[in-house]
Structure 1
Amino acid sequence: VNLRAVTSWVGIARLFAVVLSCIAFSLVASTGDFRGPYGTWCMFTWCFCFAVTLLVLVLELLELYPKLPLSWDDFTSAFSMLAALMVFTTSVIFPSIFISSPCSSSKCARQAVATTVSCLCFLAYALEVGLTRAKPGDISSFLSTVPGLLKVFEAYVACLIFSLLDTYTSEAGLQWCVAVYSICFVITLLIIIFTIGRCLTYMPCPLEKMLVGYNTLALVMYITATVLWPLYSFRGRNRPNTCGRNCWWDKHLGVTFLTIFNLIAYLVDLVYSTRMVFI
Protein backbone atom coordinates (compact mmCIF):
# COMPACT_ATOMS: atom_id res chain seq x y z
CA VAL A 1 0.00 0.00 0.00
CA ASN A 2 1.36 3.38 -1.04
CA LEU A 3 0.12 5.87 1.56
CA ARG A 4 1.76 8.75 -0.29
CA ALA A 5 -1.06 8.42 -2.80
CA VAL A 6 -3.33 10.12 -0.25
CA THR A 7 -0.86 11.98 1.97
CA SER A 8 1.11 13.91 -0.66
CA TRP A 9 -0.10 17.30 -1.84
CA VAL A 10 -1.28 15.78 -5.11
CA GLY A 11 -3.11 13.04 -3.24
CA ILE A 12 -4.78 15.56 -0.94
CA ALA A 13 -5.89 17.62 -3.94
CA ARG A 14 -7.40 14.48 -5.47
CA LEU A 15 -9.17 13.61 -2.22
CA PHE A 16 -10.70 17.08 -2.13
CA ALA A 17 -11.76 16.71 -5.78
CA VAL A 18 -13.45 13.37 -5.03
CA VAL A 19 -15.33 14.72 -2.02
CA LEU A 20 -16.34 17.99 -3.67
CA SER A 21 -17.52 16.41 -6.92
CA CYS A 22 -19.55 13.89 -4.90
CA ILE A 23 -21.16 16.68 -2.89
CA ALA A 24 -21.93 18.64 -6.06
CA PHE A 25 -23.77 15.88 -7.91
CA SER A 26 -25.49 14.72 -4.72
CA LEU A 27 -26.91 18.18 -4.04
CA VAL A 28 -28.10 18.60 -7.62
CA ALA A 29 -29.56 15.09 -7.65
CA SER A 30 -31.51 15.91 -4.49
CA THR A 31 -33.22 18.80 -6.28
CA GLY A 32 -34.33 16.59 -9.18
CA ASP A 33 -33.85 19.53 -11.52
CA PHE A 34 -31.09 18.63 -13.95
CA ARG A 35 -32.99 17.66 -17.07
CA GLY A 36 -32.10 18.76 -20.55
CA PRO A 37 -28.71 18.75 -22.28
CA TYR A 38 -27.13 21.29 -19.93
CA GLY A 39 -28.23 19.53 -16.76
CA THR A 40 -27.15 16.18 -18.16
CA TRP A 41 -23.74 17.61 -19.02
CA CYS A 42 -23.27 19.02 -15.52
CA MET A 43 -24.23 15.76 -13.83
CA PHE A 44 -22.03 13.77 -16.21
CA THR A 45 -19.07 16.04 -15.47
CA TRP A 46 -19.31 15.68 -11.71
CA CYS A 47 -19.94 11.92 -11.83
CA PHE A 48 -17.22 11.30 -14.42
CA CYS A 49 -14.61 13.31 -12.52
CA PHE A 50 -15.60 11.66 -9.24
CA ALA A 51 -15.34 8.14 -10.67
CA VAL A 52 -12.06 8.58 -12.54
CA THR A 53 -10.34 10.47 -9.71
CA LEU A 54 -11.43 7.81 -7.22
CA LEU A 55 -10.09 5.14 -9.58
CA VAL A 56 -6.76 6.97 -9.84
CA LEU A 57 -6.50 7.16 -6.06
CA VAL A 58 -7.27 3.47 -5.62
CA LEU A 59 -4.80 2.39 -8.30
CA GLU A 60 -2.04 4.52 -6.79
CA LEU A 61 -2.89 3.49 -3.23
CA LEU A 62 -2.71 -0.21 -4.13
CA GLU A 63 0.22 0.38 -6.52
CA LEU A 64 -1.59 -1.31 -9.41
CA TYR A 65 -1.01 1.39 -12.03
CA PRO A 66 2.39 0.03 -13.23
CA LYS A 67 0.53 -2.99 -14.59
CA LEU A 68 -1.50 -0.82 -16.97
CA PRO A 69 -0.28 -0.58 -20.60
CA LEU A 70 -0.13 3.20 -20.61
CA SER A 71 1.97 6.12 -19.48
CA TRP A 72 0.50 6.76 -16.03
CA ASP A 73 2.00 10.22 -15.55
CA ASP A 74 0.73 11.35 -18.94
CA PHE A 75 -2.71 9.91 -18.25
CA THR A 76 -3.10 11.56 -14.84
CA SER A 77 -1.77 14.89 -16.14
CA ALA A 78 -4.15 14.85 -19.10
CA PHE A 79 -7.10 13.83 -16.94
CA SER A 80 -6.50 16.49 -14.30
CA MET A 81 -6.33 19.15 -17.01
CA LEU A 82 -9.47 17.80 -18.68
CA ALA A 83 -11.30 17.59 -15.35
CA ALA A 84 -10.35 21.16 -14.48
CA LEU A 85 -11.72 22.38 -17.82
CA MET A 86 -14.90 20.32 -17.55
CA VAL A 87 -15.65 21.37 -13.98
CA PHE A 88 -14.91 25.01 -14.80
CA THR A 89 -17.35 24.89 -17.71
CA THR A 90 -19.95 23.21 -15.53
CA SER A 91 -19.48 25.79 -12.76
CA VAL A 92 -20.37 28.48 -15.29
CA ILE A 93 -23.17 26.68 -17.11
CA PHE A 94 -25.09 25.30 -14.15
CA PRO A 95 -25.88 28.55 -12.30
CA SER A 96 -26.58 30.44 -15.52
CA ILE A 97 -29.17 27.87 -16.58
CA PHE A 98 -30.72 26.57 -13.36
CA ILE A 99 -30.42 29.35 -10.77
CA SER A 100 -32.81 32.26 -11.09
CA SER A 101 -33.16 35.41 -9.03
CA PRO A 102 -34.44 35.81 -6.38
CA CYS A 103 -32.98 32.66 -4.84
CA SER A 104 -35.17 32.06 -1.79
CA SER A 105 -36.28 28.41 -1.92
CA SER A 106 -34.42 25.47 -0.39
CA LYS A 107 -34.01 24.03 -3.86
CA CYS A 108 -32.27 27.16 -5.07
CA ALA A 109 -30.09 27.18 -1.96
CA ARG A 110 -28.92 23.64 -2.71
CA GLN A 111 -28.20 24.62 -6.30
CA ALA A 112 -26.19 27.61 -5.10
CA VAL A 113 -24.20 25.45 -2.69
CA ALA A 114 -23.60 22.93 -5.47
CA THR A 115 -22.25 25.73 -7.65
CA THR A 116 -19.91 26.89 -4.89
CA VAL A 117 -18.71 23.35 -4.28
CA SER A 118 -18.17 22.90 -8.02
CA CYS A 119 -15.98 26.01 -8.08
CA LEU A 120 -13.93 24.61 -5.19
CA CYS A 121 -13.66 21.33 -7.09
CA PHE A 122 -12.25 23.22 -10.05
CA LEU A 123 -9.65 24.78 -7.77
CA ALA A 124 -8.69 21.31 -6.51
CA TYR A 125 -8.11 20.06 -10.05
CA ALA A 126 -6.29 23.27 -10.98
CA LEU A 127 -4.03 22.73 -7.96
CA GLU A 128 -3.32 19.19 -9.11
CA VAL A 129 -2.42 20.47 -12.58
CA GLY A 130 -0.03 22.96 -11.02
CA LEU A 131 1.55 20.37 -8.73
CA THR A 132 2.07 17.77 -11.46
CA ARG A 133 3.20 20.15 -14.20
CA ALA A 134 6.67 19.26 -15.43
CA LYS A 135 9.52 21.56 -14.55
CA PRO A 136 11.21 23.47 -17.40
CA GLY A 137 13.48 21.13 -19.34
CA ASP A 138 11.76 17.96 -18.13
CA ILE A 139 10.03 16.20 -21.03
CA SER A 140 9.83 12.70 -19.53
CA SER A 141 6.06 13.12 -19.29
CA PHE A 142 4.98 15.17 -22.30
CA LEU A 143 1.37 15.78 -21.25
CA SER A 144 2.54 17.35 -17.99
CA THR A 145 4.52 19.99 -19.90
CA VAL A 146 2.97 23.25 -21.06
CA PRO A 147 2.65 22.04 -24.70
CA GLY A 148 1.07 18.81 -23.47
CA LEU A 149 -1.45 20.60 -21.26
CA LEU A 150 -2.22 22.95 -24.12
CA LYS A 151 -3.00 19.93 -26.30
CA VAL A 152 -5.71 18.91 -23.84
CA PHE A 153 -7.01 22.49 -23.77
CA GLU A 154 -7.09 22.71 -27.57
CA ALA A 155 -8.98 19.43 -27.91
CA TYR A 156 -11.50 20.44 -25.25
CA VAL A 157 -12.15 23.85 -26.80
CA ALA A 158 -12.69 22.14 -30.14
CA CYS A 159 -15.33 19.94 -28.48
CA LEU A 160 -17.06 23.06 -27.17
CA ILE A 161 -17.00 24.50 -30.67
CA PHE A 162 -18.60 21.34 -32.06
CA SER A 163 -21.36 21.57 -29.46
CA LEU A 164 -22.28 25.04 -30.74
CA LEU A 165 -22.25 24.28 -34.45
CA ASP A 166 -25.63 24.19 -36.16
CA THR A 167 -26.17 26.09 -39.43
CA TYR A 168 -23.00 26.30 -41.47
CA THR A 169 -23.70 24.25 -44.62
CA SER A 170 -24.78 27.17 -46.77
CA GLU A 171 -21.45 28.98 -46.86
CA ALA A 172 -18.18 27.60 -48.21
CA GLY A 173 -16.24 29.78 -45.77
CA LEU A 174 -18.04 28.26 -42.80
CA GLN A 175 -17.49 24.77 -44.18
CA TRP A 176 -13.76 25.49 -44.31
CA CYS A 177 -13.85 26.62 -40.68
CA VAL A 178 -15.55 23.39 -39.62
CA ALA A 179 -12.90 21.47 -41.55
CA VAL A 180 -10.21 23.40 -39.64
CA TYR A 181 -11.81 22.59 -36.29
CA SER A 182 -12.20 18.91 -37.23
CA ILE A 183 -8.72 18.35 -38.67
CA CYS A 184 -6.95 20.05 -35.78
CA PHE A 185 -9.10 18.23 -33.24
CA VAL A 186 -8.41 14.80 -34.73
CA ILE A 187 -4.65 15.35 -34.94
CA THR A 188 -4.48 16.81 -31.44
CA LEU A 189 -6.50 13.93 -30.04
CA LEU A 190 -4.23 11.42 -31.77
CA ILE A 191 -1.17 13.08 -30.22
CA ILE A 192 -2.77 12.76 -26.78
CA ILE A 193 -3.76 9.13 -27.33
CA PHE A 194 -0.37 8.15 -28.75
CA THR A 195 1.37 9.82 -25.83
CA ILE A 196 -0.74 8.04 -23.21
CA GLY A 197 -0.46 4.75 -25.11
CA ARG A 198 3.34 5.02 -25.36
CA CYS A 199 3.21 4.93 -29.14
CA LEU A 200 5.40 7.96 -29.80
CA THR A 201 8.43 5.75 -30.31
CA TYR A 202 6.87 4.58 -33.56
CA MET A 203 6.82 8.10 -34.96
CA PRO A 204 9.09 8.52 -38.01
CA CYS A 205 10.48 11.79 -36.63
CA PRO A 206 11.13 13.25 -33.16
CA LEU A 207 8.02 14.46 -31.33
CA GLU A 208 9.40 17.95 -30.72
CA LYS A 209 10.03 18.62 -34.42
CA MET A 210 6.70 17.13 -35.42
CA LEU A 211 4.93 19.40 -32.92
CA VAL A 212 6.59 22.50 -34.34
CA GLY A 213 5.42 21.60 -37.84
CA TYR A 214 1.90 20.69 -36.75
CA ASN A 215 1.47 23.72 -34.50
CA THR A 216 2.60 26.01 -37.31
CA LEU A 217 0.06 24.47 -39.67
CA ALA A 218 -2.70 24.55 -37.05
CA LEU A 219 -1.93 28.18 -36.24
CA VAL A 220 -2.21 29.21 -39.89
CA MET A 221 -5.46 27.27 -40.27
CA TYR A 222 -6.94 28.83 -37.15
CA ILE A 223 -5.96 32.30 -38.34
CA THR A 224 -8.08 31.72 -41.45
CA ALA A 225 -10.95 30.39 -39.31
CA THR A 226 -10.72 33.39 -36.97
CA VAL A 227 -11.22 35.68 -39.96
CA LEU A 228 -13.71 33.64 -41.99
CA TRP A 229 -16.08 32.44 -39.27
CA PRO A 230 -17.31 35.87 -38.08
CA LEU A 231 -17.13 37.24 -41.63
CA TYR A 232 -19.51 34.64 -43.04
CA SER A 233 -21.59 34.23 -39.88
CA PHE A 234 -22.51 37.87 -39.23
CA ARG A 235 -22.20 39.54 -42.63
CA GLY A 236 -25.48 41.37 -43.12
CA ARG A 237 -27.12 39.46 -40.26
CA ASN A 238 -27.94 41.35 -37.09
CA ARG A 239 -28.87 39.70 -33.82
CA PRO A 240 -32.60 38.79 -33.88
CA ASN A 241 -34.82 40.60 -31.40
CA THR A 242 -36.31 37.28 -30.31
CA CYS A 243 -32.96 35.62 -29.69
CA GLY A 244 -33.59 32.98 -27.01
CA ARG A 245 -31.32 30.55 -25.19
CA ASN A 246 -30.61 28.46 -28.30
CA CYS A 247 -30.31 31.38 -30.70
CA TRP A 248 -28.04 30.71 -33.67
CA TRP A 249 -26.51 34.20 -33.39
CA ASP A 250 -25.32 33.61 -29.84
CA LYS A 251 -23.95 30.20 -30.79
CA HIS A 252 -21.98 31.65 -33.68
CA LEU A 253 -20.66 34.37 -31.40
CA GLY A 254 -19.57 31.69 -28.94
CA VAL A 255 -17.77 29.83 -31.73
CA THR A 256 -16.02 33.08 -32.66
CA PHE A 257 -14.62 33.56 -29.17
CA LEU A 258 -13.69 29.89 -28.79
CA THR A 259 -11.86 30.06 -32.11
CA ILE A 260 -9.86 33.01 -30.80
CA PHE A 261 -9.08 31.10 -27.59
CA ASN A 262 -7.76 28.14 -29.58
CA LEU A 263 -5.80 30.45 -31.86
CA ILE A 264 -4.03 31.88 -28.81
CA ALA A 265 -3.50 28.37 -27.44
CA TYR A 266 -1.88 27.18 -30.66
CA LEU A 267 0.30 30.29 -30.75
CA VAL A 268 1.55 29.70 -27.20
CA ASP A 269 1.92 26.01 -28.02
CA LEU A 270 4.08 26.86 -31.02
CA VAL A 271 6.29 29.15 -28.95
CA TYR A 272 6.88 26.51 -26.28
CA SER A 273 7.38 23.72 -28.83
CA THR A 274 9.91 25.84 -30.70
CA ARG A 275 11.80 26.48 -27.48
CA MET A 276 11.90 22.73 -26.81
CA VAL A 277 13.61 22.16 -30.17
CA PHE A 278 15.91 25.14 -30.62
CA ILE A 279 16.78 26.24 -27.08
Structure 2
Amino acid sequence: MGICSLSCFLKILKGVFCGLALLIPMFRGKMANPFGIWCEFVWTFGLVVAVVIFLLEMFLCDKIVELIVLKHSWADLVCGLYLQVSAMLLVASLIYCIIFVCGRLACLGDIFCAICSIIAFVLYTVDAVMAKLKCPSGYLSNLRGLLRFAESLVACVLLASVTDYFMGVEKHHKPAAMVWCIVVYVVCFPVPVLIILIHLIKLLGGLLCFALDRLEVIFNIVAVALYVSAAIIWPIFAYKNYNVGPAHTNRKHDRRFHDLNAATVLTYVNLALYVVDLILSVIALYKLSYITFPARRILTSGKY
Protein backbone atom coordinates (compact mmCIF):
# COMPACT_ATOMS: atom_id res chain seq x y z
CA MET A 1 0.00 0.00 0.00
CA GLY A 2 1.56 3.28 -1.08
CA ILE A 3 1.73 6.20 1.31
CA CYS A 4 -0.04 8.44 -1.24
CA SER A 5 -2.84 6.01 -2.15
CA LEU A 6 -6.50 6.91 -1.64
CA SER A 7 -6.98 4.08 0.84
CA CYS A 8 -4.03 5.30 2.92
CA PHE A 9 -5.32 8.87 2.82
CA LEU A 10 -8.79 7.76 3.99
CA LYS A 11 -7.29 5.81 6.90
CA ILE A 12 -5.36 8.88 8.07
CA LEU A 13 -8.44 11.08 7.82
CA LYS A 14 -10.58 8.55 9.69
CA GLY A 15 -8.09 8.44 12.55
CA VAL A 16 -7.82 12.25 12.63
CA PHE A 17 -11.57 12.92 12.79
CA CYS A 18 -12.24 10.13 15.32
CA GLY A 19 -9.46 11.62 17.45
CA LEU A 20 -10.90 15.14 17.13
CA ALA A 21 -14.36 13.90 18.09
CA LEU A 22 -12.84 12.30 21.18
CA LEU A 23 -10.72 15.31 22.12
CA ILE A 24 -13.33 17.74 23.50
CA PRO A 25 -15.16 15.30 25.83
CA MET A 26 -11.82 14.08 27.19
CA PHE A 27 -10.60 17.61 28.03
CA ARG A 28 -13.85 18.35 29.86
CA GLY A 29 -13.18 15.61 32.36
CA LYS A 30 -14.78 12.31 33.18
CA MET A 31 -17.98 11.58 31.27
CA ALA A 32 -20.85 10.52 33.56
CA ASN A 33 -23.66 10.07 31.05
CA PRO A 34 -23.86 6.43 29.80
CA PHE A 35 -24.60 7.61 26.27
CA GLY A 36 -21.58 9.90 26.37
CA ILE A 37 -19.40 7.01 27.53
CA TRP A 38 -20.72 4.95 24.61
CA CYS A 39 -19.88 7.73 22.14
CA GLU A 40 -16.35 8.05 23.55
CA PHE A 41 -15.87 4.29 23.20
CA VAL A 42 -17.01 4.41 19.57
CA TRP A 43 -14.60 7.22 18.68
CA THR A 44 -11.77 5.43 20.45
CA PHE A 45 -12.58 2.20 18.64
CA GLY A 46 -12.74 3.99 15.28
CA LEU A 47 -9.36 5.62 15.95
CA VAL A 48 -7.76 2.31 16.97
CA VAL A 49 -9.14 0.45 13.93
CA ALA A 50 -7.87 3.10 11.52
CA VAL A 51 -4.39 3.26 13.10
CA VAL A 52 -3.92 -0.51 13.50
CA ILE A 53 -5.03 -1.35 9.95
CA PHE A 54 -2.89 1.48 8.57
CA LEU A 55 0.23 0.25 10.40
CA LEU A 56 -0.29 -3.42 9.58
CA GLU A 57 -0.78 -2.73 5.88
CA MET A 58 2.03 -0.17 5.77
CA PHE A 59 4.56 -2.63 7.21
CA LEU A 60 3.07 -5.57 5.21
CA CYS A 61 2.06 -7.47 8.35
CA ASP A 62 -1.48 -8.07 7.07
CA LYS A 63 -0.39 -11.18 5.14
CA ILE A 64 1.22 -12.63 8.27
CA VAL A 65 -1.93 -11.99 10.28
CA GLU A 66 -4.05 -13.58 7.55
CA LEU A 67 -1.81 -16.65 7.41
CA ILE A 68 -1.32 -17.25 11.14
CA VAL A 69 -4.35 -15.79 12.92
CA LEU A 70 -7.39 -15.53 10.63
CA LYS A 71 -9.70 -18.24 9.37
CA HIS A 72 -10.82 -16.03 6.51
CA SER A 73 -9.10 -13.39 4.43
CA TRP A 74 -7.65 -10.07 5.56
CA ALA A 75 -10.02 -8.37 3.09
CA ASP A 76 -13.00 -9.92 4.92
CA LEU A 77 -11.72 -8.64 8.27
CA VAL A 78 -11.09 -5.11 6.97
CA CYS A 79 -14.40 -4.90 5.13
CA GLY A 80 -16.32 -6.22 8.15
CA LEU A 81 -14.60 -3.81 10.54
CA TYR A 82 -15.27 -0.84 8.26
CA LEU A 83 -18.95 -1.75 7.99
CA GLN A 84 -19.22 -2.20 11.75
CA VAL A 85 -17.42 1.02 12.65
CA SER A 86 -19.61 2.88 10.13
CA ALA A 87 -22.73 1.64 11.91
CA MET A 88 -21.27 2.48 15.32
CA LEU A 89 -20.32 6.00 14.23
CA LEU A 90 -23.77 6.56 12.74
CA VAL A 91 -25.42 5.61 16.05
CA ALA A 92 -22.90 7.63 18.09
CA SER A 93 -23.36 10.70 15.88
CA LEU A 94 -27.15 10.53 16.18
CA ILE A 95 -27.01 10.02 19.94
CA TYR A 96 -24.55 12.87 20.47
CA CYS A 97 -26.55 15.27 18.30
CA ILE A 98 -29.82 14.43 20.06
CA ILE A 99 -28.57 14.40 23.67
CA PHE A 100 -25.56 16.70 23.86
CA VAL A 101 -25.56 19.30 21.06
CA CYS A 102 -26.84 22.60 22.51
CA GLY A 103 -28.03 20.71 25.54
CA ARG A 104 -25.57 22.56 27.78
CA LEU A 105 -23.52 25.78 27.84
CA ALA A 106 -20.58 24.49 25.77
CA CYS A 107 -22.67 24.38 22.60
CA LEU A 108 -19.90 25.20 20.10
CA GLY A 109 -17.67 22.42 21.40
CA ASP A 110 -20.47 19.88 21.11
CA ILE A 111 -21.28 21.02 17.57
CA PHE A 112 -17.62 20.65 16.58
CA CYS A 113 -17.52 17.21 18.19
CA ALA A 114 -20.68 16.10 16.36
CA ILE A 115 -19.39 17.41 13.00
CA CYS A 116 -16.12 15.46 13.40
CA SER A 117 -18.09 12.32 14.28
CA ILE A 118 -20.30 12.71 11.21
CA ILE A 119 -17.27 13.26 8.95
CA ALA A 120 -15.62 10.15 10.41
CA PHE A 121 -18.82 8.20 9.69
CA VAL A 122 -18.84 9.39 6.06
CA LEU A 123 -15.17 8.47 5.60
CA TYR A 124 -15.66 5.00 7.10
CA THR A 125 -18.75 4.49 4.94
CA VAL A 126 -16.86 5.41 1.76
CA ASP A 127 -14.04 3.05 2.69
CA ALA A 128 -16.53 0.30 3.59
CA VAL A 129 -18.30 0.61 0.24
CA MET A 130 -14.96 0.50 -1.60
CA ALA A 131 -13.98 -2.63 0.36
CA LYS A 132 -17.36 -4.29 -0.16
CA LEU A 133 -17.23 -3.73 -3.93
CA LYS A 134 -14.25 -6.07 -3.97
CA CYS A 135 -16.69 -8.74 -2.72
CA PRO A 136 -14.50 -10.35 -0.05
CA SER A 137 -15.60 -13.82 0.97
CA GLY A 138 -15.74 -14.60 4.65
CA TYR A 139 -17.79 -14.35 7.82
CA LEU A 140 -17.41 -10.81 9.11
CA SER A 141 -18.29 -8.94 5.92
CA ASN A 142 -21.37 -11.02 5.12
CA LEU A 143 -24.87 -11.47 6.52
CA ARG A 144 -24.19 -13.81 9.45
CA GLY A 145 -21.29 -11.79 10.83
CA LEU A 146 -23.07 -8.46 10.35
CA LEU A 147 -26.15 -9.86 12.06
CA ARG A 148 -24.09 -10.90 15.09
CA PHE A 149 -22.54 -7.47 15.19
CA ALA A 150 -25.96 -5.80 14.97
CA GLU A 151 -27.08 -7.81 18.02
CA SER A 152 -24.09 -6.56 19.99
CA LEU A 153 -24.53 -2.96 18.80
CA VAL A 154 -28.20 -2.86 19.77
CA ALA A 155 -27.35 -4.43 23.15
CA CYS A 156 -24.76 -1.70 23.83
CA VAL A 157 -27.24 1.11 23.21
CA LEU A 158 -29.90 -0.83 25.11
CA LEU A 159 -27.66 -1.14 28.18
CA ALA A 160 -26.82 2.58 27.97
CA SER A 161 -30.56 3.38 27.91
CA VAL A 162 -31.28 1.12 30.88
CA THR A 163 -28.33 2.51 32.86
CA ASP A 164 -29.39 6.10 32.19
CA TYR A 165 -32.96 5.23 33.16
CA PHE A 166 -31.91 3.87 36.55
CA MET A 167 -29.40 6.62 37.39
CA GLY A 168 -30.53 8.35 40.58
CA VAL A 169 -33.29 5.82 41.24
CA GLU A 170 -33.24 4.32 44.72
CA LYS A 171 -32.77 0.59 45.14
CA HIS A 172 -36.30 -0.10 46.38
CA HIS A 173 -37.68 1.48 43.19
CA LYS A 174 -36.01 -1.20 41.05
CA PRO A 175 -38.48 -4.11 40.85
CA ALA A 176 -37.10 -7.64 40.56
CA ALA A 177 -38.84 -8.02 37.19
CA MET A 178 -36.89 -5.06 35.76
CA VAL A 179 -33.67 -6.39 37.28
CA TRP A 180 -34.37 -9.66 35.45
CA CYS A 181 -34.54 -7.75 32.17
CA ILE A 182 -31.16 -6.17 32.91
CA VAL A 183 -29.74 -9.65 33.57
CA VAL A 184 -31.11 -10.78 30.18
CA TYR A 185 -29.44 -7.88 28.38
CA VAL A 186 -26.11 -8.40 30.17
CA VAL A 187 -26.01 -12.19 29.74
CA CYS A 188 -26.85 -12.12 26.03
CA PHE A 189 -24.50 -9.25 25.17
CA PRO A 190 -21.01 -10.92 25.19
CA VAL A 191 -21.95 -14.18 23.46
CA PRO A 192 -22.33 -12.75 19.89
CA VAL A 193 -18.95 -11.05 20.31
CA LEU A 194 -17.39 -14.36 21.38
CA ILE A 195 -19.02 -16.17 18.44
CA ILE A 196 -17.61 -13.58 16.03
CA LEU A 197 -14.12 -14.07 17.48
CA ILE A 198 -14.40 -17.86 17.22
CA HIS A 199 -15.41 -17.53 13.55
CA LEU A 200 -12.45 -15.22 12.88
CA ILE A 201 -9.53 -16.61 14.89
CA LYS A 202 -8.07 -20.03 14.11
CA LEU A 203 -6.84 -20.71 17.64
CA LEU A 204 -10.22 -20.11 19.28
CA GLY A 205 -11.94 -22.36 16.75
CA GLY A 206 -9.44 -25.11 17.47
CA LEU A 207 -10.17 -24.97 21.21
CA LEU A 208 -13.81 -25.94 20.71
CA CYS A 209 -14.65 -29.57 21.44
CA PHE A 210 -18.10 -29.34 19.84
CA ALA A 211 -19.62 -28.03 16.63
CA LEU A 212 -19.97 -24.25 16.52
CA ASP A 213 -23.10 -24.49 14.32
CA ARG A 214 -24.94 -26.46 17.01
CA LEU A 215 -23.72 -24.06 19.68
CA GLU A 216 -25.12 -21.11 17.72
CA VAL A 217 -28.52 -22.77 17.38
CA ILE A 218 -28.65 -23.50 21.12
CA PHE A 219 -27.59 -19.98 22.04
CA ASN A 220 -30.12 -18.42 19.66
CA ILE A 221 -32.93 -20.51 21.15
CA VAL A 222 -31.94 -19.42 24.67
CA ALA A 223 -31.52 -15.78 23.58
CA VAL A 224 -34.93 -15.70 21.88
CA ALA A 225 -36.58 -17.18 24.99
CA LEU A 226 -34.84 -14.67 27.27
CA TYR A 227 -35.67 -11.69 25.05
CA VAL A 228 -39.30 -12.80 24.77
CA SER A 229 -39.51 -12.67 28.56
CA ALA A 230 -37.85 -9.23 28.60
CA ALA A 231 -40.10 -7.97 25.79
CA ILE A 232 -43.12 -8.87 27.92
CA ILE A 233 -41.84 -7.90 31.37
CA TRP A 234 -39.93 -4.67 30.66
CA PRO A 235 -42.79 -2.56 29.19
CA ILE A 236 -45.26 -3.70 31.87
CA PHE A 237 -43.12 -2.92 34.92
CA ALA A 238 -41.11 -0.05 33.47
CA TYR A 239 -44.12 2.08 32.52
CA LYS A 240 -45.86 1.10 35.72
CA ASN A 241 -42.92 2.30 37.85
CA TYR A 242 -42.05 5.33 35.73
CA ASN A 243 -43.69 7.84 38.10
CA VAL A 244 -42.52 6.06 41.24
CA GLY A 245 -39.51 7.42 43.09
CA PRO A 246 -38.02 10.71 44.22
CA ALA A 247 -39.06 13.95 42.58
CA HIS A 248 -37.07 15.03 39.54
CA THR A 249 -36.87 18.16 37.50
CA ASN A 250 -39.04 18.07 34.41
CA ARG A 251 -36.05 17.62 32.12
CA LYS A 252 -34.65 14.69 34.11
CA HIS A 253 -38.11 13.10 34.27
CA ASP A 254 -38.55 13.50 30.51
CA ARG A 255 -35.09 12.00 29.91
CA ARG A 256 -36.03 8.92 31.93
CA PHE A 257 -39.17 8.57 29.81
CA HIS A 258 -37.12 8.74 26.60
CA ASP A 259 -34.73 6.14 28.02
CA LEU A 260 -37.71 3.93 28.84
CA ASN A 261 -39.05 4.21 25.29
CA ALA A 262 -35.61 3.55 23.77
CA ALA A 263 -35.07 0.45 25.92
CA THR A 264 -38.52 -0.88 24.99
CA VAL A 265 -38.02 -0.40 21.25
CA LEU A 266 -34.47 -1.80 21.29
CA THR A 267 -35.63 -4.88 23.21
CA TYR A 268 -38.03 -5.71 20.36
CA VAL A 269 -35.37 -4.89 17.74
CA ASN A 270 -32.88 -7.31 19.30
CA LEU A 271 -35.58 -9.94 19.69
CA ALA A 272 -36.27 -9.69 15.95
CA LEU A 273 -32.53 -9.93 15.17
CA TYR A 274 -32.17 -13.06 17.30
CA VAL A 275 -35.22 -14.66 15.65
CA VAL A 276 -33.73 -14.03 12.19
CA ASP A 277 -30.36 -15.35 13.39
CA LEU A 278 -32.05 -18.46 14.79
CA ILE A 279 -33.73 -19.15 11.44
CA LEU A 280 -30.44 -18.71 9.55
CA SER A 281 -28.59 -20.89 12.08
CA VAL A 282 -31.12 -23.71 11.72
CA ILE A 283 -30.92 -23.49 7.92
CA ALA A 284 -27.10 -23.54 8.03
CA LEU A 285 -27.11 -26.53 10.40
CA TYR A 286 -29.58 -28.40 8.18
CA LYS A 287 -27.46 -27.76 5.10
CA LEU A 288 -24.36 -28.96 6.94
CA SER A 289 -26.12 -32.13 8.07
CA TYR A 290 -27.47 -32.70 4.57
CA ILE A 291 -23.97 -32.51 3.11
CA THR A 292 -22.41 -34.57 5.90
CA PHE A 293 -24.72 -37.55 5.47
CA PRO A 294 -24.91 -38.47 1.77
CA ALA A 295 -27.15 -41.43 2.58
CA ARG A 296 -29.87 -38.97 3.50
CA ARG A 297 -29.61 -37.39 0.06
CA ILE A 298 -30.01 -40.84 -1.56
CA LEU A 299 -33.10 -41.63 0.53
CA THR A 300 -34.76 -38.26 -0.09
CA SER A 301 -34.08 -38.48 -3.83
CA GLY A 302 -35.84 -41.86 -4.07
CA LYS A 303 -32.77 -43.80 -5.25
CA TYR A 304 -33.00 -46.88 -3.02
Give TM-score, length-normalised by structure 1: 0.75
Q: Secondary structure at the match of 1:141?
A: coil
Q: Does 1:186 align with 2:190?
A: yes
Shift of the 261–201 alpha-carbon distance from structure 1 to 2, 3 Å rule, reads: same
Of the structure 1 ranges 242-251 and 222-231, higher mean CA displacement relative to structure 2 is found in: 242-251
| 8 Å contact from structure 2 (residues 22, 113) kept in 1 | yes
Alignment equivalent of 1:147, drawn from 123, 144, 149: 144
| Shift of residue 33, structure 1, vs aligned partner | 5.1
Q: Deviations over 1:33-58 (max 9, x none)?
A: 57633555544533442233122112
Q: Which has the larger radius of gyration?
A: 2
Structure 2's unaligned 5+ residue stretches are 288-304
Alignment equivalent of 1:156, drawn from 153, 157, 160: 153
| 8 Å contact from structure 1 (residues 74, 195) kept in 2 | no
Q: Deviations over 1:51-81 (max 9, x none)?
A: 3312211201221134445325565455434
| Shift of residue 211, structure 1, vs aligned partner | 2.3
Structure 1's unaligned 5+ residue stretches are none
Q: Deviations over 1:178-229 (max 9, x none)?
A: 2321221132222123233322244344433432332233123212211111
Shift of the 212–131 alpha-carbon distance from structure 1 to 2, 3 Å rule, reads: farther
Quote the residue 2:294 is aligned against.
none
Quote the residue 1:250 is aligned against.
258
| 8 Å contact from structure 2 (residues 83, 141) kept in 1 | no
| 8 Å contact from structure 2 (residues 139, 200) kept in 1 | no
| 8 Å contact from structure 1 (residues 132, 144) kept in 2 | no
CA distance in 1, matches of 2:64, 2:90: 32
* Aligned structure 1 segments of 4 or more residues deviating by more than 6 angstroms: none
Of the structure 1 ranges 107-116 and 153-162, higher mean CA displacement relative to structure 2 is found in: 107-116
Q: For this pair of structures, how many residues does the alignment match?
A: 269
| 8 Å contact from structure 2 (residues 25, 31) kept in 1 | no
How high is the sequence identity, in percent, across the aligned residues? 23
Shift of the 34–48 alpha-carbon distance from structure 1 to 2, 3 Å rule, reads: farther
Shift of the 268–127 alpha-carbon distance from structure 1 to 2, 3 Å rule, reads: farther
CA distance in 2, matches of 1:273, 1:12: 39
Q: Secondary structure at the match of 2:251?
A: coil
Q: Secondary structure at the match of 2:102?
A: coil
Shift of the 6–22 alpha-carbon distance from structure 1 to 2, 3 Å rule, reads: farther
RMSD (Å) for aligned C-alpha atoms: 3.8
